[in-house]
């Protein structure tokens, strides 16, 4: 089955959930994987919204099949991923259902996400962002990309978190920014 054709079918079936007109480039995948390695997480790496598998391949190369868990909700893309990566545990599930049960120890876990927060319906985006916020507040780490220069979703002061832009990938259609969701850094004043 042609990967691009499967991607386009998934896009037509659920455009808001796919959120892109073309699969992620290998350049974006490499940048996301480098950001994931830089997090230094020692536990499981959970890829969310794996799509056609460009990022999956980059993560598999860096983390191995024992540490990588893949979550994708589009049935056709799950089939493509299972054929491309038979050694991986690829789940057809929604991350907001999977994560609370599967990652009880987030301090050593990392989410690497390609979810299109900006194109999702508002209620779904709020649910997903609160899931990610709780995960990071409990000690996990999140790498996420977005199109444009603004972070994937807004944070409140009470969250105690901030977005850090890790890189800008021009060789992607459209260009994208890679972000890390992390605890807010506090400025400390030195005594005078």
Characterise 82 by phi-psi region: left (phi > 0), alpha (psi -120 to 50), beta (else): alpha
Q: Which two tokens stand for residue 153?
A: 């979703």
- State residue 105's pLDDT score: 63
Between 45-59, 100-114, 128-142, the lowest mean confidence (pLDDT) is in: 100-114
What is the pLDDT at residue 41? 84
CA distance 21 to 40: 32
Tokens representing residue 20 in the block: 């892109």
Answer yes or no: are the C-beta atoms of 135 and 106 closer than 8 Å. Answer: yes
Q: What digits encode the pLDDT tens for the residues 110-162?
A: 999 999 898 889 999 999 999 999 999 988 899 999 988 899 999 999 999 99
CA proximity to 96, closest of 52, 134, 68: 134
Of 147 and 11, which is predicted with more confidence? 147
């Amino acid at each position: 089955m042609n990967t691009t054709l499967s991607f386009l079918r998934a896009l037509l079936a659920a455009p808001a959930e796919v959120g892109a007109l073309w699969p992620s480039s290998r350049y974006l995948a490499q940048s996301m994987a480098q950001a994931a390695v830089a997090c230094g997480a020692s536990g499981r790496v959970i890829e969310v919204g794996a799509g056609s598998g460009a990022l999956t391949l980059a993560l598999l190369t860096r983390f191995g099949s024992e540490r990588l868990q893949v979550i994708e909700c589009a049935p056709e893309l799950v089939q493509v991923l299972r054929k491309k990566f038979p050694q991986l545990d690829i789940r057809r599930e929604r991350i907001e259902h999977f994560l609370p049960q599967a990652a009880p120890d987030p301090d050593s876990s990392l989410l690497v996400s390609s979810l299109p927060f900006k194109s999702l319906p508002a209620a779904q985006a709020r649910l997903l962002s609160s899931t990610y916020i709780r995960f990071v507040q409990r000690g996990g780490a999140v790498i996420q990309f977005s199109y444009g220069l603004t972070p994937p979703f807004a944070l409140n002061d009470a969250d105690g978190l901030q977005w850090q832009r890790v890189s800008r990938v021009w060789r992607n259609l459209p260009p994208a920014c890679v972000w890390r969701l992390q605890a807010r850094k506090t400025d400390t004043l030195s005594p005078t």
